[in-house]
Amino acid sequence: MSEEIKEKTEKSYCVLGVGEREFLVPKESVVQVLDITRIFPIPGAPDYIVGALPVRGKIIPAVDLAKIYNIERLNYSDNKLLVIEVKGEKIGILSDISPFFVSFESDIVVEDFINPEKLFEQLKVSYQKPAENLKSGFAGETSTGKQEK
C-alpha cells in the first residue's frame, strides 16, 4: 500500500486589537496599516463610523468595532487604522495595537474571524440601522464561515 502524503497549507491573517479582544482578518484583504493623525467626523454617521480620512487620494471611512461590540477601548491616542479592500472599495478598522500577521495551518479553526465581504455588505446595508444588527456580520465566525454559538 502506498501512503498518501497530505500537504498542509497555511492561511495567513492580520491580527488587530480592540480593547482586550483580538480579531483576525484574511491577509489578502489588507491594503495597509496607518498611523492615525486625524480623522474627520462625518455628520449623521452611525456611532460605529468614527469618521473618515484621506488615504492615497481616496476618502476611507474609519470603523470602530468597540462601538459595535460594546468593548471598552484601552487607549484612543495610539490607534492604528487597518485598511482593507473589498470588491474595489476600502474601509478602515481602528486597532488599539499595531496589527501584525500570523499564519495557521488551514485545518485550524480560528475564532473572532472577520469576513471582509460580510463586513462591507453589513455596513452598506445597515448604515441607517442600529449597530446591534451588525454583530452577526463581523466576528464570532470561524474561518470556515460558520457562525459560533
74: left (phi over 0), alpha (psi -120 to 50) or beta: alpha
Which pLDDT does position 33 carry in this prediction?
A: 95
Q: What is the pLDDT of residues 69-118, one digit of tens each?
A: 889 876 666 789 999 998 888 999 999 999 999 998 988 888 889 999 98
Q: What is the CA radius of gyration of the chain?
A: 16
Burial of 104 (0-12, 13-18, 19+ CB in 10 A): middle
Mean pLDDT of all residues in 108-136: 70
Q: What is the pLDDT of residues 33-66, one digit of tens each?
A: 999 888 999 999 988 999 999 988 889 999 999 9
Q: φ and ψ at 122, to 5 degrees?
A: -65, -40
Which pLDDT does position 125 carry in this prediction?
A: 62
Which pLDDT does position 30 carry in this prediction?
A: 97
